[in-house]
Structure 1
Amino acid sequence: MDVASSPTLAQLARLTEHQINNVTYQNIALTNISNYGVDIQQDYLNGGPTGKPTNGVKISNIKFIKVTGTIASSAQNWYILCGNGSCSGFTFSGNAITGGGKTSSCNYPTKTCPS
């Protein structure tokens, strides 16, 4: 898969009227990543993060399968920040993102990020 040409979740949301459903990220090799290995944020307003996620876009049935790679020591392996009740059905299988020196942060599916 050519990640550079893949749609972002934000782009998909614009196409599906505030809902993202049934997306699979599979067999992706991460290289030269400087911020986040995987990043899902529902706290953007006017082009920047606020730290307070909202429920404006429902995200459901997202699969991460064999997303692998080593990222920069200044990066986070995983960052998932969902609004209360707006994310559901995420599955993680065979992922191996390593190298991030910052602690991963996830509030969905639990307080613990995928390993």
Structure 2
Amino acid sequence: MLERLLKYPGFVYRIGGTYYYLGKWICKECTDTEVTDCVAMYEMCRLEHEDAEAGMYFHKLRAYSDFALDVPYNPALIKADMIDLVDGLSPDAFKVLDGQMQHFAEDYRKYCGELAV
């Protein structure tokens, strides 16, 4: 999982009741209600197979993640934070995050093209 997170483009994931921007350039908590509401809408549209709407929310979440990047980029800190986050996951939280990452990979291919890893 860690290897995928460090290679995938940024996205917003829900772990328990907490939201995180996670990806190759970012690992930090998300507290912006507009963004977290977008996660709920993306998940709902995806579940209902409303592809056009799910695609719109997918792209919004990708954009929010890109706008949340910290400059200057610190890959060592991002990796350390990512390791701490993944190592601290309960087995259930690990399973949920893994499922979200699988959905991300599927939807990235659907809406953006091949996922370079």
TM-score in same-fold range (> 0.5): no
Name the TM-score, length of structure 2 as normaliser: 0.28
Between structures 1 and 2, the one with greater helix share? 2
Name the TM-score, length of structure 1 as normaliser: 0.28
